[in-house]
Amino acid sequence: MPSHDVLIIGAGLAGQRAALAAAQTGATVGIVSKVHPVRSHSVAAAGGINAALNPEDTWESHAFDTIKGSDYLGDQDAIEIMCREAPGEILWLEHAGVTFHRNERGNLGTRAFGGASAARTYYVADITGHAILHVLYEQLMKHSDTVDRYEEWFCTDLLQDDDGRCVGAICRNLRDGHLEVFNTKAVILANGGAGQAYRPTTNGLIVTGDGIAQAYRIGARLMDMEMIQYHPTTLAGNGLLITEGARGEGAWLLNAEGERFMEKYAPNKLELASRDVVSRAEQTEINEGRGFPDGTVALDITKVPRRRTLEALREIVNIGRDFAGVDITREPIHIHPGQHYIMGGVKTDSDGLTTIPGLYAAGEVACVSVHGGNRLGANSLLDTLIFGRRSGEHAGGLARQMTMPSTPPTRVTDTERHIKDIINRPPGGRRVAAIKDELGDTMNKYVAVFRDADGLNKAYEVVRRLKEEAPKATIDDRGAVFNQDVIGAIELGYMLDVAEAIVVGAQERKESRGAQFRTDFPERNDDEWLKHIDVTANGDDVPKVSYSPVTITKWQPQERTY
């Protein structure tokens, strides 16, 4: 039985940063990933990472922008930590080998991003996630004596002892299908988000909410689940992202009449208002008939000097050419708002501790909450690294004071039985992919930029029905080696749990704040709703809803204009 002081599920930026930090405390570490670590979804992060590192900028300004961006739902103590620690993290990354862009004076250069009062986004062209992820992986190699990597292993369940403490996990080796019980003093969930519960999404096929659902199933509290970010610039049909870096470099948004419509919605920040504001503005233009017939508006990147686009935005030059047949240096490209990010997740404190003893969470799977109702662009990479590191340090410290708990080995038989049941399902039923598509389409129709009670109720009915259908969904592959059909069937269950929590949160919040815009409750209502909505599992019944307070340190809620 593999046994490690700290077991990390997920090897994107949050997981790898946590692994490095835990290893540096002297703990032994196991890090599990269902894909090779450098294929984790963090590799897709494009535009950059925020920090108030320039002498003329301040962490307080970064914190205020983040709080305002969150529509005052973010916890200000956690935001303070993130913004204070950001400059040190950027320098640490640069010293570790991340080739951040440098300006003509040879200093680290920045670009502007949405909702920020200063240009404080550090970047590597438009491949920032890729660059950081590879450097972290190199750094992890240095610790190969104490860090064991389980690459292409899939975690199916978290294990608790009789007192409810998380003491391990069950994982399946995807190469041959065998299951192992992992024993540990602390588990850090770093499984990323849940974008695949929507269709389309900017998120890759592997982003299926596994960690959120696994934590929820063992009783962990989820928070801010209703807050789903729609990114303003995604390609119609396939959801591919055109980075906010394009608008940061000077691109304009135009409706079908050629009007720069952001002048009406955000006269000061224009295209660089926060994402919820820009997505709503675009959707309003489209809904009121000023979009293009394909349900889009245009992003005009020709406003950016061509040389600069080819240097700093080269990935989206390729995306435009390959996926839309458009040379973005010469003509506008059609875009619309698309599902991108989940602000909610497993509720944690600022050291990553969840409501389950022994269980931590960091990165997109977690909700600290530093993003509240709306995440600012380039604050997610920062969140993964700051709270990944803090979780690793804390879990490593905890491990030093503990002896290894014993794990009940019999639990593996439940998982074996579950997988056998999936493989033995009779053919001819509805396919996993068909159920997943219905889920994604439903969420994208009713739990999107604009919501109302009727639509949310419809979404809830569909999710409940799909939860009944999913355990009978048919698969084709009955083998043991790289059986992605089995994994897909398990992931579908996770996505349905996550979707249910999202819908329940959205039904509960009867106001408009951040990414949750209720057309039936169009105003923000601080008197009644300046609070987090927490969701916990309740057997097969409707999830249980409760509330927790928003931490306000020194920034009182104000009217939010850009």
Q: Catalytic: 199?
A: no
- 554 exposure class (CB count in 10 Å sphere: 0-12, 13-18, 19+): exposed
> What region, left, alpha or beta, does residue 117 occupy, with left being phi > 0 and alpha being psi -120 to 50 degrees?
alpha
CB of 436 to ligand FAD, least distance (A): 16
The maximal CA–CA distance of the chain, rounded, in angstroms, is 68
Q: Which stretch binds ligand FAD (CB under 6 A): 10-18, 58-66, 273-281, 504-512?
A: 10-18
CB of 501 to ligand FAD, least distance (A): 17
- Give yes or no for residue 507 binding ligand FAD (CB under 6 A): no
CB of 112 to ligand FAD, least distance (A): 13
Residue of 76, 196, 203, 512 interacting with ligand FAD (CB under 6 A): 203
CB of 126 to ligand FAD, least distance (A): 8
CA distance 159 to 509: 32
CB of 248 to ligand FAD, least distance (A): 10
Give CA separation, 313 vs 248, 252, 329, 330, in Å.
11, 15, 10, 14
Q: Tell me whether residue 370 or residue 462 sits nearer to ligand FAD (CB atom).
A: 370
Q: Tell me whether residue 35 or residue 312 sits nearer to ligand FAD (CB atom).
A: 35
Strands 147-151 and 29-33: parallel
Residue of 69, 115, 192, 332 interacting with ligand FAD (CB under 6 A): 192
CB of 548 to ligand FAD, least distance (A): 22
Q: Tell me whether residue 93 or residue 462 sits nearer to ligand FAD (CB atom).
A: 93
Residue among 149, 275, 389, 560 flagged as catalytic:
275
CA distance 446 to 502: 11
Residues whose CB is less than 8 angstroms from the CB of residue 106 and which lie 6 or more positions away in sequence, other chains included = none
CA distance 328 to 333: 6
Rg (Cα) of the chain, in Å, rounded? Answer: 22
Q: Which stretch binds ligand FAD (CB under 6 A): 57-65, 350-358, 375-383, 470-478?
A: 375-383
Residue nearest to ligand FAD (CB): 12
Percentages helix, strand, coil for the chain (3-state, rounded to 5) are 40, 20, 40
- Give yes or no for residue 11 binding ligand FAD (CB under 6 A): yes
Which tokens in the block code for residue 345?
A: 């997740």
Q: Is the dihedral of CA 502, 507, 510, 516 positive or negative?
A: positive
Contact flags string 76-115 toward ligand FAD, x per CB under 6 A: ----------------------------------------
Residue of 124, 378, 489, 499 interacting with ligand FAD (CB under 6 A): 378
Contact flags string 324-363 toward ligand FAD, x per CB under 6 A: -----------------x---------------------x
Residue of 34, 68, 120, 130 interacting with ligand FAD (CB under 6 A): 34
- Using an 8 Å Cβ cutoff, are 216 and 362 in contact? no
Q: Tell me whether residue 114 or residue 192 sits nearer to ligand FAD (CB atom).
A: 192
- Using an 8 Å Cβ cutoff, are 23 and 202 in contact? no
Q: Tell me whether residue 37 or residue 332 sits nearer to ligand FAD (CB atom).
A: 37
DSSP string, 393-453: HHHHHHHHT-PPPP--GGGHHHHHHHHHHHHTPPTTS-BHHHHHHHHHHHHHHHSSSEE-H
Residues of this chain that interact with ligand FAD (CB under 6 A) are 9-15, 32-35, 37, 40-42, 44-49, 128-129, 154-155, 190-192, 202-203, 206-207, 210-211, 241, 341, 363-365, 378-381, 384
